[in-house]
A and B are shown apart, each in its own frame.
Chain A
Amino acid sequence: QVHLVESGGGVVQPGRSLRLSCQVSGFNLTKYAMSWVRHAPGKGLDWVAVLSYDGTKMFYANSVRGRFTSSRDNFKNTLYLQMNSLTTDDTAVYYCARTFTSNWTDALEIWGQGTLVTVSS
């Protein structure tokens, strides 16, 4: 059974950092591109980043480029999102999602349940 479980969310002050994790099971992380998508209160889905299946290519939304970094540990079957210089606009539920194939432009087939990040002083 394919599962994605996010963790690492919490309350953090503006300007601070946080690292989210996405533990995957039931599939080989090296065969799929993996994305991060967030959902802020009262707003729509907001794509954040995608990491290619081989980990060599990363694409980011303009709003997080230069502050967020996506990476992964194949041995631990875990995807990470390092978030720096957080602002209140980053407050959201963060989801990790697996693409349909290895193509990073593909649809997002499997989603986790999300982890809440609250940026507040």
Chain B
Amino acid sequence: QSVLTQPPSVSAAPGQKVTISCSGNNSNIGNNFVSWYQHLPGTGPKLLIYDNDKPHSGIFDRFSGSKSGTSATLDISRLQTGDEADYYCGTWDTSLSAAVFGGGTKLTVL
């Protein structure tokens, strides 16, 4: 069971928008920065968003992040079939003295 909670899957049609949620507590999301990663099979994960809402260099503006209290969200707009991947939120957990990830969300572009 992951420390951070994400929906197992989301889906939408090309051109539409999806939101992936990530829920934690005050030991992790509530008091630390959140990052988001895209993971395609057979490759290393790719940083999309860091410090809650900053897009990493080279990341399209279709990807955006936000945080409120102990939850964070990743929005992906104007969906493309190439966006199909697993998406993870991550942060530091001060109580655990460890980095933690969400369980991952599989995005399907119908």
**Which of A44, A100, A105, A112 is packed against the most chain B CB atoms within 10 Å?**
A44
- A41-66: which residues lie under 8 A (CB-CB) from chain B? 44-47, 50, 59-62
Bound Cα distance from A53 to B45, whole angstroms: 21
Interface residues on chain B, size class: 20 to 34
Give, as a whole number of angstroms, the nearest-CB distance from A27 to chain B.
15
Report how far A113 CA is from B45 CA in the complex, Å.
Answer: 8
Asked, given contacts A45-B39, A50-B99, A105-B92, whether A111 binds B50 with beta carbons under 8 Å apart, the answer is no
- Asked whether B98 lies within 8 Å of A61 as measured between CB atoms, the reply is yes
Q: Which residues of B contact A114 (CB under 8 A)?
A: 44
> Please, how many residues of chain A have a CB less than 8 angstroms from a CB on the other chain?
26
When the two chains form their complex, are residues B100 and A113 in contact, meaning their CB atoms are under 8 A apart?
A: no
Q: Are A113 and B32 in contact (CB under 8 A)?
A: no
Q: Which residues A66-114 have CB closer than 8 A to chain B?
A: 95, 97, 100, 105-114
A45 CB contact (under 8 Å) in B32, B45, B97: B45
Instruction: Say yes or no: B33 contacts A44, CB within 8 Å.
Output: no
- Contact check, B99 vs A113: say whether CB atoms are below 8 A apart: no
The closest CB in chain B to the CB of A112 belongs to: B44
Interface residues of B in 54-75 (CB under 8 A from A): 56
> Secondary structure at chain A's binding surface: helix, strand, loop or mixed?
strand
A95-B99 contact, Cβ under 8 Å, with A44-B2, A100-B50, A107-B35: no
Does A35 lie at the interface of the complex (its beta carbon under 8 Å from any beta carbon of B)?
A: yes
Given that A113-B43, A113-B44 are known contacts, is A106 also in contact with B50, CB under 8 Å in the complex?
A: yes
The residue on A at minimum CB distance from B3 is A47
Residue of chain A at shortest CB distance from B88 = A45
Which of B35, B47, B97 touches A59 (beta carbons < 8 Å)? B97
Contact A95 B44 (CB under 8 A): yes
Q: A61 → chain B, closest Cβ, in Å?
A: 6
Smallest Cβ distance from B38 to chain A, in angstroms?
11
Bound CA span A110–B33, Å = 17
A interface with B by C-beta (< 8 Å): 4, 35, 37, 39, 44-47, 50, 59-62, 95, 97, 100, 105-114
